[in-house]
Structure 1
Amino acid sequence: MSKKKELSPELKAECDAAKALFVAKKNALGLTQASLAEAADISAAAVAMYLNGTNPLNAKFAVVLSRLLEVPIEKFSRRLANEISELTSETDRVEAPTQSASAADMVRQMLAKQGKGLSDEARNRLLAAAEEPSNVITADFSRPGLVGDEIRIAHYDIRGAMGDGQKAADFPEMLKDIRVSQRHLRELGVEYEDYNYLKLVTGWGQSMEPTIKHRDPLIVDISIRDFVGDGIYLYSWDDLLYIKRMQVADADNFEIISDNARHTPKRIRREDTHILARVLLVWNAHLV
């Protein structure tokens, strides 16, 4: 039996990036390899082969992983992001099909109208995905529409601890998704590149008072996954979620600071810290 050929460094890097994101977010999102397998309609062994770099990532698994981890595909595979973008961009230029049209019918319409520039391989892949029920793409590639100047910010069902750390769990929330004016956000000094990466999370604890109070909603930017300067970050450390002020202490450590003077600063290793988002705005509500 011949030995399986190893992946190229580029394909292996994609698998490593996907695995790192999965490890960083699985506790917060309540994910397991088994749940990935169920969502992708494949075996748990197949998921392990993707994450461990035995098999290269493909478009179908990338879409499922992107949806469950709530990150864009380009975070772990620019190759697949471009491939999917090329395929889906063709469908964006097709006239709206009738409601009775099947997925395969819609793809055939697209290929007939705009498919001349696609390779045979791309055409066949599109048709195969549309005709096979298990390959139906469940991720929503369309971006939420604007109502005037409004955008919708999804509420993450997680809470970041401003204290001893939190595991993702069920808990009552006052807010769900919110709609807000982009102009108003800009006037408040909120800076972001793409509103689709803005999310709402909940602060939990007292260590960041008075800046952030217990159960204050926070608008965060999940496109920021690395340290980009002093600020308040949502991060995972030792399998727990935190919201703290973060600075660089030295080449190996972050300085973690609580705004509440009763909590002393501490250092944590940078290699053990997984930044999930940067806090942009505290959505305070004060009783009057």
Structure 2
Amino acid sequence: MLNALREPSTNYRAMTDEILLHDTEVVDGDEPIRPDEIELPCFYEVEFSAGDGSTQVIENHGHKMRFPLSKLTKRGVSPENAACATASGNSMEPTIADGSPIAIDKGTRHIIDGKIYALDHGGMLRIKRLYKLPLGRVRLVSDNADEYPEETYSLMGPDSPKIIGRVFWWEVFD
């Protein structure tokens, strides 16, 4: 038994041989886009300058994020359906932290139980896990359930959230 602890097994060696380290490449914002990249537009939330102070989700046609085309293809995301946004608030922590960039597949609006979606809910950009319920209803679940209780809505009601798309990527630094 003691020898088994001292010498790595063949399986252990095989596992470590499979770990690949990739070089990090820093791209200057002015560098031309490469043929194997795509720049995705970013959504942001703006507050109306007059009226009741409600918000509206709009697409920012200036700010963009670069992604390798191979990553989108691997996830089944068409570049014309992809966009980015910034998470705001702590409702999806620890999975998605406040201020984290996210990428959304606007082509996937059907609900896959437990996946994370971006929603336009009364003009507010929200990010939640969705679960289908009978009779055209949906559960909105936050990963930070202690502070943000589960919500239920009809997908056809006046207060229903509109699915922008499925969140397929996010970035979190610790």
TM-score, normalization by structure 2: 0.63
* Secondary structure of residue in 1 paired with 2:80: helix
Matched, 1:235 2:119: yes
Instruction: Return the structure number with greater strand share.
Output: 2
Matched, 1:178 2:65: yes
% identity of equivalent residues: 23
Shift in CA distance, 255/203, structure 1 to aligned 2, threshold 3 Å: same
In 2, Cα distance between the equivalents of 1:261 and 1:217? 21
Shift in CA distance, 274/169, structure 1 to aligned 2, threshold 3 Å: closer
In 2, Cα distance between the equivalents of 1:153 and 1:283? 15
Find 1:259's aligned residue among 143, 154, 157: 143
Matched, 1:155 2:39: no
Find 2:166's aligned residue among 278, 283, 286: 278
Question: Deviation digits for residues 28-50 of structure 1, max 9, x if unmatched?
Answer: xxxxxxxxxxxxxxxxxxxxxxx
In the alignment, residue 133 of structure 2 is paired with which amino acid?
A: A
Find 2:154's aligned residue among 269, 273, 281: 269
Equivalent residue number for residue 90 of structure 2: 206
TM-score, normalization by structure 1: 0.40
Equivalent residue number for residue 19 of structure 2: none
Once the two structures are TM-superposed, the CA of residue 215 in structure 1 deviates from its matched residue by 1.0
Q: Is residue 45–residue 124 contact of structure 2 (8 Å, CA) maintained in 1?
A: no
* Matching of residues 74-93 of structure 1 within 5 Å: none
Once the two structures are TM-superposed, the CA of residue 213 in structure 1 deviates from its matched residue by 0.5
Question: Deviation digits for residues 127-175 of structure 1, max 9, x if unmatched?
Answer: xxxxxxxxxxxxxxxxxxx72311111122338xxxxxx82489xxxx9
In 1, Cα distance between the equivalents of 2:57 and 2:132? 30
Gaps of 5+ in 1: 1-145, 160-165
Once the two structures are TM-superposed, the CA of residue 237 in structure 1 deviates from its matched residue by 2.6
In 2, Cα distance between the equivalents of 1:196 and 1:169? 18
- Root mean square deviation of aligned Cα: 2.8
In the alignment, residue 222 of structure 1 is paired with which amino acid?
A: K
In the alignment, residue 45 of structure 2 is paired with which amino acid?
A: I
In 1, Cα distance between the equivalents of 2:71 and 2:150? 34
Q: Is residue 150–residue 181 contact of structure 1 (8 Å, CA) maintained in 2?
A: yes
Shift in CA distance, 190/158, structure 1 to aligned 2, threshold 3 Å: farther
Once the two structures are TM-superposed, the CA of residue 274 in structure 1 deviates from its matched residue by 1.4
Find 1:197's aligned residue among 67, 81, 94: 81
Once the two structures are TM-superposed, the CA of residue 185 in structure 1 deviates from its matched residue by 4.7
In the alignment, residue 273 of structure 1 is paired with which amino acid?
A: P
* Secondary structure of residue in 2 paired with 1:183: helix
In the alignment, residue 179 of structure 1 is paired with which amino acid?
A: R
**More relative contact order, 1 or 2 (CA 8 Å, 6+ apart):** 2
* Secondary structure of residue in 1 paired with 2:110: coil
In 2, Cα distance between the equivalents of 1:210 and 1:149? 32
* Secondary structure of residue in 2 paired with 1:223: coil
- Tell which structure's C-alpha radius of gyration is larger: 1
In 2, Cα distance between the equivalents of 1:219 and 1:239? 19
In 2, Cα distance between the equivalents of 1:279 and 1:250? 23
Question: Deviation digits for residues 44-89 of structure 1, max 9, x if unmatched?
Answer: xxxxxxxxxxxxxxxxxxxxxxxxxxxxxxxxxxxxxxxxxxxxxx
Q: Is residue 190–residue 281 contact of structure 1 (8 Å, CA) maintained in 2?
A: no
In 1, Cα distance between the equivalents of 2:57 and 2:43? 12
In the alignment, residue 176 of structure 1 is paired with which amino acid?
A: H
In 2, Cα distance between the equivalents of 1:266 and 1:259? 12
In 2, Cα distance between the equivalents of 1:169 and 1:251? 28
Shift in CA distance, 149/268, structure 1 to aligned 2, threshold 3 Å: same
